[in-house]
Amino acid sequence: MVAPSGEARLLVDRFSRALRNLRLSVTDRCNLRCAYCMPEQEYVWLPREQFLRFEELSVLVDAFIGLGVERLRLTGGEPLLRRGLPQLVALLAAKPGLRELALTTNGVLLEEFAEPLFAAGLDRVSVSLDTLTRERFAALTRRDDLDRVRAGIAAAQRAGEAHGRGPLKLDSVIIRGTNDDEIDALLEYAREVGGEVRFIEYMDVGGATRWSMERVVPRREILDRLEARYGRIEALPERSSAPAERFALRDGTIFGIIASTTAPFCSTCDRSRLTADGIWYRCLYARSGTDLRGPLRQGATAEGLSALIADAWRSRADRGAEERLHLAATERARRLVAPIELRGDPHLEMHTRGG
């Protein structure tokens, strides 16, 4: 199948969506316990010996780039917990054909790693930050680490500027009754640190075991609240398949909204996710993925791996968030994955798939 464009042959799925973005989870461990992602203290973890080694990741990334992937994002768990991450960044940043190498982090360890990561070739950093209140941060993440995150953000801003990269993105999941009174404060903080905030609607994936539709603050409401405070908001033209819609305040401040729950973007979704142990998921909501570690460790050739990936992508028909949206309210109120299933297969957890 060929994409309907004038470009060279593109690998596309059953809805003509090209394979362009890959999120690489480098660990399922995390040093926070955010209520909407990892609400439990303990989890069934992926065995470390099954984590892909850097040279294995490099082989798989070559296969993905050969099939059209041009943007990579390192995720977790918390990716900065993976030992030697700057070495992996250097390995990946040197790949011809890659247009962007990004990282999503909770920022706790970023003060130490920002400079070595940018020096190794990282293009941009997104830091997850849902509150600016110390007590609230501690309650939401079960760790008293807000100061460390803020120091990490400052370090990333400095290092990004020094290496001519950026701008820094702040990702804020907005939850009614939890942090929806901080929408303007988060926007102003992002402006202060020279970054851009993206407000993310609360999603009911894997470990979001306390999710309910009532707690989602829809895009329209976020815009209304900001408009009431700052005046007219202008929608900026869409430049890519990126999930965030971007907007500008009258003073030029730019922010984004990722309306993953009320206005999913499955129809243009070009992203997939590789877990730290090499299972490849073509949708955040997919119940199963393709094992790439097994064939890799059994000596599959580069051509064999490419064929496996290409065949799986061609048969992709996932549109998980759209399907969730169209479920009846009663169905939707049920948990996406029962806790017993989550304990049985850690791959069903959002933190294993890299969010």
Nearer CB in complex with ligand SF4: 78/318: 318
> Which residue from 10, 60, 88, 283 is in contact with ligand SF4, where contact means CB under 6 A?
283
Nearest distance in Å: CB 199, ligand SF4:
17
CB atoms within 10 A of CB 240: 11
Nearer CB in complex with ligand SF4: 16/31: 16
CA-based nearest residue to 107, from 170, 159, 45, 43: 170
Nearer CB in complex with ligand SF4: 23/29: 23
> What are the residues facing 248 on neighbouring strands?
234, 254
CA dist 188 and 206 (Å) reads 31
Stretch that binds ligand SF4, among 68-76, 124-132, 228-236, 279-287 (CB under 6 A): 279-287
Nearest distance in Å: CB 228, ligand SF4:
30
Q: Which of residues 248-277 bind ligand SF4 (CB under 6 A)?
A: 264-266, 269
> What are the residues facing 68 on neighbouring strands?
none
Nearest distance in Å: CB 350, ligand SF4:
11
Helix 110-120 × helix 85-93 angle, to 10°: 20
Stretch that binds ligand SF4, among 50-58, 174-182, 296-304, 314-322 (CB under 6 A): 314-322
Nearer CB in complex with ligand SF4: 130/318: 318
Nearest distance in Å: CB 75, ligand SF4:
13
Stretch that binds ligand SF4, among 32-40, 44-52, 121-129, 282-290 (CB under 6 A): 282-290
Nearest distance in Å: CB 184, ligand SF4:
28
By CB under 6 A, how many residues form the interface with ligand SF4?
11
Q: Which long-range contacts (CB under 8 A, 24 or more apart) does 319-323 make?
A: 319/15, 319/264, 319/266, 319/267, 319/269, 319/283, 320/266, 320/283, 320/284, 320/285, 320/286, 321/203, 321/260, 321/261, 321/264, 321/265, 321/266, 321/284, 321/285, 322/264, 322/266, 322/267, 323/285
Nearer CB in complex with ligand SF4: 117/321: 321
Nearer CB in complex with ligand SF4: 117/283: 283
Q: Which of residues 315-334 bind ligand SF4 (CB under 6 A)?
A: 318-321
CA-based nearest residue to 60, from 239, 285, 312, 267: 312
CA dist 276 and 289 (Å) reads 13
Nearer CB in complex with ligand SF4: 24/110: 24
Nearest distance in Å: CB 100, ligand SF4:
18
CA dist 107 and 125 (Å) reads 10
CA dist 242 and 254 (Å) reads 15
User: Is residue 117 involved in binding ligand SF4 (CB under 6 A)?
Assistant: no
CA dist 226 and 230 (Å) reads 6
Answer for the pair 183, 211: CB distance below 8 angstroms, yes or no: no
Given the rule CB under 6 A, which residues bind ligand SF4?
264-266, 269, 283-285, 318-321
